Amino acid sequence: MLEIADKGFDELSSQIDQYIEEFKQRSSKGDFDIEINSLTLEEYVINWAESTNFQIVENEHKPDFSDLVNELNDLGLKNISELIKIIPSNYPDITKKYGYSTTILGLLRDWMIIYDYKKYHEEVSFNWLGIDSESHQIIESYLNEEQMKEFYEMYKDHYFIEDEYIE
């Protein structure tokens, strides 16, 4: 019985490896019309971070990206090419200015909020606790004063200024 389960696990692991390899091949050719899921999302963000020298902070445990995938889908983003379009301009340069780094979860939530903080608040089902002071600085770099006032009002129940990101 254990041998059967072990063989099944090996097959599944092999299929995942093949899927990731297919993603790498397609993305290396500039084909990002690939569904957002936990595997493609993590792979894309890690590659993006490496290519831009953005420092990703490792979680203590492997995060479950299913909530994040749902948030992206709620925002209307279904494939990697749509995700690429919302990456804020000059994001790596602005974050370097502040010495900012974050987790994959924090990074993508920053992108979504900067992209459309109103739509994110109104249409996305999210369960994170708050925004840290570093994320605040980055968001403030993209929003004007009027937008920041509106942002504070909308997110007042989710706004914390802590030293570390709350997941």
Cβ atoms < 10 Å from Cβ of 150:
15
Indicate whether 46 belongs to any domain.
yes
Band of residue 5 on the pLDDT scale cut at 50, 70, 90? low
- Is the per-residue pLDDT at 104 higher than 50? yes
Is 9 inside any structural domain?
no
Q: How far apart are CA 81 and CA 16, in angstroms?
A: 21
Q: Quick check: is 164 in a domain?
A: no
Report yes or no on 55 lying in a domain: yes
In DSSP notation, 11-73 reads HHHHHHHHHHHHHHHHHHTT----B--HHHHHHHHHHHHHHHT--BPPPSS---THHHHHHHH
* Mean pLDDT score, 75-104: 96
Structural domain count of the chain: 1
**Would 79 be classed as within a structural domain?**
yes
Partners of 35 in the β-ladder: 79
In a domain, 13, yes or no: no
What is the per-residue pLDDT for 165? 40
Query: Does residue 59 lie within any of the structural domains?
Result: yes
Tell whether 16 is covered by a domain: no
Task: Give the domain extent around 46.
Answer: 32-158
